[in-house]
Structure 1
Amino acid sequence: MTAALGAFAVTTLLAMSVPTTAHGASVPAAHAAECGVRSDGRLYCGNKVGAKGYADRSYRSATRGQLNGTFSWFVCWGHGDPHPGQNDIWYWTQLDNGAWGNVPAVDVNTGQDPAPGLREC
């Protein structure tokens, strides 16, 4: 293998293994497994790739965008329509396109809903 091809392979593997935040910035792999409220009051947690954010806390409302990465932050939670996660909790965040939306808890990797320590909105 040539040096250039080897460097390309290493760079590609590293890029594929580093998760990103809701805004596309990379986060250390150790943070990808983390799910909790930090000192800034936000919940930082893993999420389903492609999770959609809705205008209201309902699948019937308009889709505002999605989360393309696997790790995001959420500013608060609220009750809404029930979803397949067996509850009615939705999390409010800024989506990857810059719009704000409600993400159903079923798409956020919390241990319990609502996430302990996160404020209600």
Structure 2
Amino acid sequence: MSLVKATTIVLTSAAVFGAALTTASASSATAARAAECGVRSDARLYCGNRAGARGYEHRSYGSMIRGTLNTTFSWFQCWGHGDPHSGGNDIWYWTKLDNGQWGNVPAVDVNTTVDPAPGLREC
């Protein structure tokens, strides 16, 4: 095997291995962030959510839609009771939606393990 061919193989292998490490690292960071769900020192709930979750003017599916959460990780300012939803309760979370509007998101669209989220204030 020539020195040029051997060097090409080594460099190609290193590039492929480096790309795999970068992808694995990014996937791990995304998974860890999505798994996080808790109230931080700024008193907000940071939690994964359903992409495309709608935010409503009031805590009711019958109220005006103010926007959506297109991302899958968001913060929520507080919670309140509203219309029951398919999550089995009537908890809704207040947040700034991706379009800059404020809205109420039903808890079924937020990846909490219990509603309301412990430590988050009621509003």
TM-score range, shorter chain: 0.7 to 0.9
Q: 1:120 is aligned with what amino acid?
A: E
Q: 1:37 is aligned with what amino acid?
A: V
Equivalent residue for 1:32, pick from 26, 31, 34: 34
CA distance in 1, matches of 2:82, 2:34: 27
Structure 2 runs not aligned, ≥5 long:
1-11
1:31 is displaced (CA, Å) by: 2.0
Equivalent residue for 2:92, pick from 85, 90, 93: 90
1:32 is displaced (CA, Å) by: 1.7
Q: Does 1:75 align with 2:86?
A: no
Structure 1 runs not aligned, ≥5 long:
19-27
CA distance in 2, matches of 1:65, 1:52: 6
Equivalent residue for 2:61, pick from 59, 64, 79: 59
Q: 2:106 is aligned with what amino acid?
A: P
Aligned to 2:110: 108
Encode CA deviations 1:56-98: one digit per residue, 9 max, x unaligned: 0000000000000110000000000001111000000000000
Encode CA deviations 1:12-66: one digit per residue, 9 max, x unaligned: x85xx56xxxxxxxxx422221000000000000000100000000000000000
Q: 1:108 is aligned with what amino acid?
A: V
How many residue pairs match? The answer is 102
Aligned to 2:4: none
The SS at the match of 1:72 is strand
Aligned to 1:48: 50
CA distance in 2, matches of 1:39, 1:92: 18
Q: Determine which structure has more spread, i.e. the larger CA radius of gyration.
A: 2
TM-score, L = length of structure 2: 0.77
CA distance in 2, matches of 1:32, 1:38: 15
Task: Determine which structure has the larger helix proportion and give its number.
Answer: 2
The SS at the match of 1:32 is helix
CA distance in 2, matches of 1:49, 1:84: 17
CA distance in 2, matches of 1:68, 1:56: 19
